[in-house]
């Protein structure tokens, strides 16, 4: 009864309960419109139907609802891109997802988890689409500012600098991750795709790797455990 009384997709309640709840709400909306084969659709077909449902509502909603619609479009286009077989089509869908997330961030004054998610995923999409790194980093840093409990954006930035062996830059972000996110998984308060590796021992493992890189001790002839100990003492 609770679910059936809460199938308004433009209610903050719906987004607050996370992506699985959002998709079940849209399934129910399709059923209400007579789409009886929802249960047998592929994921790709279901996402396309969700987007079609949103298209039919254009011009019939107010500004706040239109903003929420952009969030859903970003999310559905992004999920659809992951399922698409042809890379060219996937890139087009990712670009549409990015535009929708950016529209949502511009139009909405929401301070809930959806804002963090839209900002974070905008940065991830920009990275995948080969936008200049300075723009990607700025987008991800804005995500980190939105929600101090979420570490995924900082994890992505750290990974970029580790891959390039830019140890000083990597260190500044990994130290932030250790201090703010290590063993502080926000799963009890957040629902939009928590990346557990942004909060577990992986955070410290990456930090130690960076410390060793900073010390210039990543040498097969040196005991790794000893090297890590020295790196920590030098860069704590």
CA-to-CA separations, 20 to 6, 106, 108, 198, in angstroms, rounded:
14, 25, 22, 21
Alpha-carbon distance 70 to 178, whole Å?
Answer: 34
Which of 82-86, 120-124, 135-139 has the weakest average pLDDT? 82-86
Integer Cα distance of 91 and 113 in angstroms: 26
Strand (E) or helix (H) holding 40: none
Between CA 154 and CA 176 the distance in angstroms is: 8
Radius of gyration of the chain (CA): 21
Cβ contact 104:71 at 8 Å? yes
Residue 41 three-state SS: coil
Taking the domains of the chain in order of start, what are their residue ranges? 1-147, 148-236
Least confident of 102-111, 166-175, 196-205, 220-229: 220-229
Helix (H, G, I), strand (E, B) or coil at 220: coil
Task: Round to whole Å and give the CA distance between 19 and 23.
Answer: 6
Give the CA angle between residues 127, 128, 130 to the nearest 5°. Answer: 65
Q: What is the pLDDT of residues 62-102, one digit of tens each?
A: 888 999 999 999 999 999 999 987 777 899 999 999 999 99
Count other Cβ atoms within 10 Å, centred on residue 56.
10
Three-state DSSP state, 199: coil
Cβ neighbors of 104 (< 8 A, separation 6 or more) are 67, 68, 70, 71, 74, 114, 118
Question: Helix, strand, or coil here: 48?
Answer: helix
Closest CA to 124 of 193, 66, 47: 193
Q: For 146-160, how does the pLDDT look when each residue is reduced to its tens digit (9 = 90+)?
A: 999 999 999 999 999
Alpha-helix runs per DSSP H in 57-200 = 63-83, 87-107, 113-128, 133-146, 152-163, 167-181
> Does the pTM of the predicted model rise above 0.75?
yes
Identify the pLDDT of residue 63. 86
């Amino acid at each position: 009864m609770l679910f059936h009384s809460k199938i308004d997709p433009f209610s903050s309640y719906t987004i607050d309960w996370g992506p699985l709840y959002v998709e079940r709400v849209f399934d129910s909306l399709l059923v209400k419109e007579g789409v009886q084969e929802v249960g047998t659709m592929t994921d790709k077909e279901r996402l396309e139907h969700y987007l079609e449902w949103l298209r039919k509502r254009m011009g019939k909603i107010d500004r706040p609802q239109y903003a929420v619609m952009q969030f859903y479009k970003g999310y559905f286009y992004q999920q659809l891109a992951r399922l698409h077989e042809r890379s060219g089509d996937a890139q087009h869908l990712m670009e549409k997802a990015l535009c929708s997330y950016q529209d949502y961030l511009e139009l909405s004054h929401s301070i809930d988890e959806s804002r963090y998610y839209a900002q974070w995923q905008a940065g991830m999409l920009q990275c995948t689409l080969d936008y200049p790194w300075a723009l990607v980093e700025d987008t991800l840093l804005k995500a980190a500012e939105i929600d101090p409990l979420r570490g995924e954006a900082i994890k992505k930035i750290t990974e970029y600098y580790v891959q390039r062996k830019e140890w000083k830059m990597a260190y500044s972000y990994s130290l932030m991750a250790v201090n703010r996110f290590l063993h502080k998984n926000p799963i009890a308060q957040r629902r939009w795709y928590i990346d557990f590796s942004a909060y577990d021992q992986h955070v410290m493992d990456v930090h130690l790797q960076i410390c060793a890189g900073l010390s210039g001790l990543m040498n097969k002839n040196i005991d790794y455990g000893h090297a890590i100990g020295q790196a920590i003492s030098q860069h704590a």
